[in-house]
Structures are given as C-alpha cells and as structure tokens.
Amino acid sequence: MKACRSCRAIVEKSDTCALCGSKDLTTEFSGLIIVIDPNSSEIAKKLNITVPGKYATNIK
C-alpha cells in the first residue's frame, strides 16, 4: 500500500492516485482511517476529506 502525499488517499495497486491523479506516492505513512460518510464524519471534516475511501493520517 502507498499513500498519496497530495490528498492522503491510500493507493493499493497503482502508481497513480485515483482521487487526485498525483504520482507522488509514499510507503512511509502511519495510521489508516476509512471514511464511509464524509459529510457526517468529524475526522473527515478535520482532514478536509470529501470522498469516501481509505486515507493515511500521517505521511512522512
């Protein structure tokens, strides 16, 4: 798994982020959250997440 440095999305089998199209991915991240409903999630609001999916909480 890799995390996108631009939007924090977790990418599993690609070299390009499906959400933002960035190729700046890293394997050095910690924490994982799964957002199902970003409109009612307080964590999603704090991290500016607007699309459901898997996200890294900290990227190195």
Burial 16-52 (b: 16+ CB within 10 A, else e): ebebeeeeebeeebeeebebeebeeeeebeebebeee
What's the gap between Cα 13 and its chain centre? 14
What's the topology of domain 2-59? Rubrerythrin, domain 2 (2.20.28)
- Put simply, whether the predicted model's pTM sits higher than 0.85 gets the answer yes
**Alpha-carbon torsion 13, 57, 26, 51, what sign?**
positive
pLDDT band at 60 (very low <50, low <70, confident <90, very high): confident
Q: What is the pLDDT of residue 45?
A: 92
* pLDDT tens, position by position, 4-57: 999 999 999 999 999 999 999 999 999 999 999 999 999 899 888 999 999 999
Q: What is the pLDDT of residue 53?
A: 96
Domain range list for the chain: 2-59
Phi, psi of 8 (to 5 degrees): 70, 5
